[in-house]
Amino acid sequence: MKIWLSGASSGLGLALARQLLSDGHQVAVSARRAEPLQTLAGDFPGQVLVLPADLTDASSVAQLAQTLQHHWAQLDMAILNAGTCEYMDVQHYQHALLEHVVRTNLFSASLCIEHLLPLLRRSAHGHLVAIGSSATFFPLPRAEAYGASKAALRYLMESLRVDLAAEHIAVTLVSPGFIDTPLTAQNDFPMPMQLTAEQAARHIARRLPAQPQEINFPRVFIAILKLLNHLPAALRLAVGQYLSRNAKEDQSNKEHP
């Protein structure tokens, strides 16, 4: 199978690339930094197509798609993994921060979809996959920018699933809990049921062949978030405020041990 994967230079993307390559697939990998991609190609000779790109830049994505078409002609699966996570301090609300996160997590995915859909259409079993977040199941403290970008990505993917069904292109949204990556290493709050990048990659790779509509994990963590979201509005607000207070206390304790 020919697979394109973004954000493959570190964290979940790198672990997922290694898992897919170990499973015998051909994988085109993209990220801004070429060096980790070249290292990956050296570890899996003949299986890796290195396509460094800035996915927030339209011309860069267009060039990526042209190169991919030149080498492969078609694409069986596209995995939109590239993204960022930055938290908002509501005392100093910044539109620029939200704009940056939405551009990175949503607009870059949209650019890739525009340019890669024609290649997916050439496959007999095209599969579009996006890495979302469990943050879309319940509003979390300081996640205004990150949560909004991932909630928009969820709606985009769910709408695409409806419109692409007639073309037999499957659409899967992956919504993981906390994963140990360079991004989450910067978090200053407890991360329950956290998985390693390798554990998450194995789980995703195992589920992808069935082309499910969603891949959500860990199950218990997701179930708790969904249960919280079904509470009455007043209780949801109370839980959110409790989590917000705890997050502030954890941050303060780390800053002033």
Q: Are 2 and 28 in contact (CB under 8 A)?
A: yes
Burial 200-232 (b: 16+ CB within 10 A, else e): bbbbbbebbeebeebbbbbeebbebbeebeeee
Q: Which of 93, 146, 155, 242 is catalytic?
A: 146
Q: Are 191 and 151 in contact (CB under 8 A)?
A: no
Euclidean distance between CA atoms 175 and 133, whole angstroms? 4
Euclidean distance between CA atoms 195 and 187, whole angstroms? 15
Euclidean distance between CA atoms 42 and 136, whole angstroms? 37
* 146 is annotated as an active-site residue: yes
Euclidean distance between CA atoms 23 and 2, whole angstroms? 12
Catalytic residues: 146
